[in-house]
Each structure stands twice: as structure tokens, then as C-alpha cells.
């Protein structure tokens, strides 16, 4: 928990350079919400994130952590934000697949008609320009195109061998930094365009990394949903960075555990 809290503080202090690049409405909302908080509330939220993000390394903790999380004031407020009208809707907070679907419904009068009819305002009307520079780029990449990008990125990162695990699920295995590495990818989730988990297999490790994603450390488990054809290339480059980060994190956590 202390290690994650330190990492979260560094990420926040630097202006969230990693989180900002994640093509996901959850993190778009998180960053906007975080910016609206005063410094003390920001620190309390990061405390809660580290506390419950670290629970992902100990899956048997399960129900107890879930109940404790529900009672944590900062996390309660954060969860309420995720459901609030201020941080939902519009071009900014709706996933790409849904926006494209709405645009095709004539009864809505296209995307603009739907936006106007729902009365969205403020930030909701402003797409994240680094992820969606213009609305003409509002086109989700096809799963086959994403797989091709992932294949190339993972081959370069850890000489991955790919196998099909059924449906939209794929498994990539290889080695990185002296570890046996397995990355699980789901390209067919109804709740997201891409979801992944990293398993680091090292017998010397007392704390195991099993299907952990960088996003899950920040309490998000549903995958990316703001991928477009325009941002897909740089987003998959980020995915490779996330995988490498988890592998390094495994070493850091276990090194810390040895001396604690």
C-alpha cells in the first residue's frame, strides 16, 4: 500500500502523465473530478485508492475489503461522482461505441440532436482533444486491427507467443526482466473495447501478480472504452508500457516485502 501511495503521489505531482493517456472514460472522469477537489480531499482520495488498489495483490481478502471500501468516505464520494450527471454523458464521458451507435439512430437526430435533447453542459460537451481531436475521428478500431497492433507491440516487448482462448480472448506468453509473463487480452467485452491482465510468474516472489492491470490499481476493472482508429496506435504503445510497468512493479513490491 505504501509503495502504491508513493507512486500515486508521484503521478499526481507530475500532472498524471500516465493516466491522461489511457483511452477510458473512467479516467477522464477521475481526472476531471480530482481537479475539482481541494488539496486535502485529493490526498484523502489517493490514500483510499492506494489502500484498495493494493488489495488486488491479495485476492483472498475479497469481501472484507469490499465492505471496507464502501464505507471509506473519499471512495464513497468518488463512487457517487461516477454516477452523477456532472460527470456523465456528452462527448467526453460516453464511450466511443455508444457515441457511434447513437449517431446512427435517426430518431435522435444524429449525435448533435441527442446531445442537445439530453441537456448536457460544461465539460461533458468538450471531448478530450488529446484522445479525440475532432469528432470526425469518432470511429472505433476493429478488433482485428487492435490485435495486429498488440501482436507487434508485444512481440517487440517480450517476444510474445499468442494463443486463442476462445471468443474475443487471447493469451500472450513470453519473458521479461527474468520473469515468465502472461498477458490476457479480451477484445470482445461488451463493457469495453479492450481489457487486459498481467500475470508475473516468478517462484522467488512471495507476493504474486495474477491478472493485474495498471488500471485495476486505480480501482478500474472494465477495460478501455475510448479507443478510436486515430488514437489506437499510441494507445497500444501505452499498453505495452503498462505491461512492462506491472512486471517492474512485481520486483519492487517483492523487494520491499523482503525488508519490511
pLDDT of residue 68: 82
Which run of H or of E encompasses 230?
Answer: none
pLDDT at 80 over 70: yes
pLDDT at residue 18 is higher than 50: yes
Retrieve residue 109's grid coordinates.
437526430
Residue 61 per-residue DSSP state: G
Q: How many residues does the chain have?
A: 260
Map out the domains of the chain as residue ranges: 2-130, 143-259
How far, CA to CA in Å, does 257 sit from each of 43, 52, 171?
25, 18, 29
Q: What is the pLDDT of residue 45?
A: 97
User: Which residue is associated with the grid cell 484498495?
Assistant: 52
SS3 sequence, 111-153? HHHHHHHHCCCHHHHCCCCCCCCCHHHCCCCCHHHHHHHHHHH
The answer, as to whether pTM is greater than 0.75, is yes
Q: Give 259 or 112, the one with higher predicted confidence.
A: 112
CA of residue 38 relative to chain centroid, distance: 24
Tell me the per-residue pLDDT of 131-161, one tens digit each, with 9 for 90 and over.
999 999 999 999 999 999 999 999 999 999 9
- Residues 200-256: tens digit of each pLDDT: 998 888 888 999 999 999 999 999 999 999 999 999 999 999 999 999 999 999 887
Amino acid at each position: 500500500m505504501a509503495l502504491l501511495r508513493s507512486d500515486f503521489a508521484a503521478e499526481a505531482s507530475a500532472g498524471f502523465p500516465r493516466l491522461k493517456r489511457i483511452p477510458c472514460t473512467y479516467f477522464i472522469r477521475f481526472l476531471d473530478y480530482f481537479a475539482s477537489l481541494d488539496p486535502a480531499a485529493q490526498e484523502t482520495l489517493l490514500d483510499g485508492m492506494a489502500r484498495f488498489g493494493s488489495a488486488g495483490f491479495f485476492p483472498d481478502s475479497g469481501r472484507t475489503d469490499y465492505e471496507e471500501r464502501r464505507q471509506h468516505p473519499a471512495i464513497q464520494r468518488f463512487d457517487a461522482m461516477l454516477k452523477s450527471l456532472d460527470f456523465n454523458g456528452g462527448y467526453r464521458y460516453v464511450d466511443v461505441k455508444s457515441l457511434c451507435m447513437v449517431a446512427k439512430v435517426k430518431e435522435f437526430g444524429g449525435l448533435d440532436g441527442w446531445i442537445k435533447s439530453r441537456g448536457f453542459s460544461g465539460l461533458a460537451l468538450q471531448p478530450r482533444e488529446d484522445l479525440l481531436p475532432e469528432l470526425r475521428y469518432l470511429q472505433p478500431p476493429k478488433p482485428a486491427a487492435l490485435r495486429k497492433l498488440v501482436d507487434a507491440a508485444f512481440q517487440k516487448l517480450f517476444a510474445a507467443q499468442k494463443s486463442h482462448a476462445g471468443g474475443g480472448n487471447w493469451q500472450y506468453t513470453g519473458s521479461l526482466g527474468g520473469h515468465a509473463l502472461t498477458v490476457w487480452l479480451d477484445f470482445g467485452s461488451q463493457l469495453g473495447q479492450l481489457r487486459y491482465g498481467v500475470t508475473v510468474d516468478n517462484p522467488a516472489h512471495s507476493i504474486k501478480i495474477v491478472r493485474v492491470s495498471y488500471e485495476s490499481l486505480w480501482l478500474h476493472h472494465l477495460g478501455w472504452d475510448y479507443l478510436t482508429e486515430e488514437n489506437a496506435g499510441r494507445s497500444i504503445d501505452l499498453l505495452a508500457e503498462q505491461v512492462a510497468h506491472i512486471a517492474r512493479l512485481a520486483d519492487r513490491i517483492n523487494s520491499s516485502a523482503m525488508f519490511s
